[in-house]
């Protein structure tokens, strides 16, 4: 698997990596740099849907790998097709990303833009994948059939200390489809998640529905959370951020939970 990935990059000769700092794109950046050296470039898109802390993590990880790293601005928040939060919101986000990265790659002489899409992503509802394909992006992990679990295994094998880093999709994924996304709402939910991480809960989501924050934690951590957290203090902190109500999801955290409203609907990928 690793050798197949290396072969892909060797054949590319040069590549620009769409690099979020997540475990998938970081593995891609690591392999690209091991094969191509300075002929690989990692580029992170900065926008309100990315926490500053996540950007800093991306910088630290890129420096540890050694890969050249740059930051560009994206402006998906200027597109009402994105901020109105339709079921294919991710399509417009990735369109903005790759409409920014592709000209940059061409300007710098990189023949390929590469992302961190893995084989599991192809089995989920990810309209952004189509947007990337339409713009010629390649997904080596998916091409080789590497799953999320195998991404973590390969990352650990290569000595990447963040191999078990929790998934951190863009903050817009915290809102139910149809609820308008604003910069202030993104900041509010982002700060709420940081608050919980500082309590040592790392694999979590704060779903935002109107004035309500719904906390999702792994089911096995719910009891610990209730027994050990100063709940009045937490509620007060969330209310200072702008939430009116603070709830705990008793089902627990499940990736892509907001997509359950789409079940039974024919999804176009």
Instruction: Give the per-residue SS3 of the chain.
Output: CHHHHHHHHHHHCCEEEECCCCHHHHHHHHHHHHHHHHHEEEEEEECCCCCHHHHHHHHHHHHHHCCCEEEEECCHHHCHHHHCCCCCHHHHHHHHHHHHHHHHHHHHCCCCEECCCCHHHHHCCCHHHHHHHHCCCECHHHHHCCCHHHHHHHHHHCCCCCCCCCCCCCHHHHCCCCCCCCHHHHHHHHHHHHHHHCCCCCCCEEEEECCEEEEECCHHHHHHHHHHCCHHHHHHHHHHHCCCEEEECCCCCCCCHHHHHHCCCCCCC
User: Does any domain span residue 112?
Assistant: yes
pLDDT of residue 132: 94
Tens digit of pLDDT for each residue in 8-63? Answer: 999 999 999 999 999 999 999 999 999 999 999 999 999 999 888 899 999 999 99
- What's 32's domain CATH number? 3.40.50.620
Tens digit of pLDDT for each residue in 229-269? Answer: 999 999 999 999 999 999 999 999 876 666 665 654 444 43
Are 8 and 134 within one domain?
yes
pTM: 0.88
User: Does any domain span residue 56?
Assistant: yes
Are 24 and 96 within one domain?
yes
Are 128 and 55 within one domain?
yes
User: Does any domain span residue 268?
Assistant: no
Are 131 and 53 within one domain?
yes
- What's 182's domain CATH number? 3.30.300
User: Does any domain span residue 222?
Assistant: yes
**Number of C-alpha atoms within 13 angstroms, CB side, residue 65?**
33
Tens digit of pLDDT for each residue in 58-77? Answer: 999 999 999 999 999 999 99
Are 215 and 144 within one domain?
no
Residue 50's domain spans which residues?
Answer: 2-157
């Amino acid at each position: 698997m690793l050798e197949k990935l290396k072969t892909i990059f060797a054949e590319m000769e040069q590549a620009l990596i769409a690099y979020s700092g997540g475990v998938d794109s970081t593995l891609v950046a690591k392999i690209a740099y091991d094969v191509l050296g300075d002929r690989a470039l990692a580029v992170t898109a900065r926008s309100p849907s990315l926490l500053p802390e996540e950007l800093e993590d991306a910088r630290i990880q890129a420096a540890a790998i050694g890969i050249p790293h740059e930051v560009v601005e994206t402006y998906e928040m200027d597109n009402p097709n994105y901020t109105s939060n339709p079921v294919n919101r991710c399509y417009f986000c990735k369109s903005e990303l790759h409409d920014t990265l592709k000209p940059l790659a061409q300007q710098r002489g990189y023949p390929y833009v590469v992302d961190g899409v893995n084989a599991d992503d192809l089995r989920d509802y990810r309209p952004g994948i189509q947007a990337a394909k339409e713009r010629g992006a390649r997904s080596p992990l998916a091409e080789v059939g590497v799953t999320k679990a195998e991404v973590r295994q390969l990352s650990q094998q290569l000595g990447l200390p963040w191999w078990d880093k929790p998934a951190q999709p863009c903050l817009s994924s915290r809102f139910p489809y149809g609820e308008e996304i604003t910069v202030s709402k993104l900041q509010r939910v982002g700060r709420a998640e940081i608050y919980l991480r500082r309590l040592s809960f790392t694999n979590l989501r704060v779903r935002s529905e109107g004035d309500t924050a719904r906390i999702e934690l792994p089911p096995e951590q719910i009891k610990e959370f209730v027994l050990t957290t100063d709940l009045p203090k937490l509620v007060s902190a969330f209310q200072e951020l702008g939430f009116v109500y603070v709830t705990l999801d008793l089902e627990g955290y499940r990736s892509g939970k907001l997509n359950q409203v789409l079940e039974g609907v024919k999804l176009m990928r």
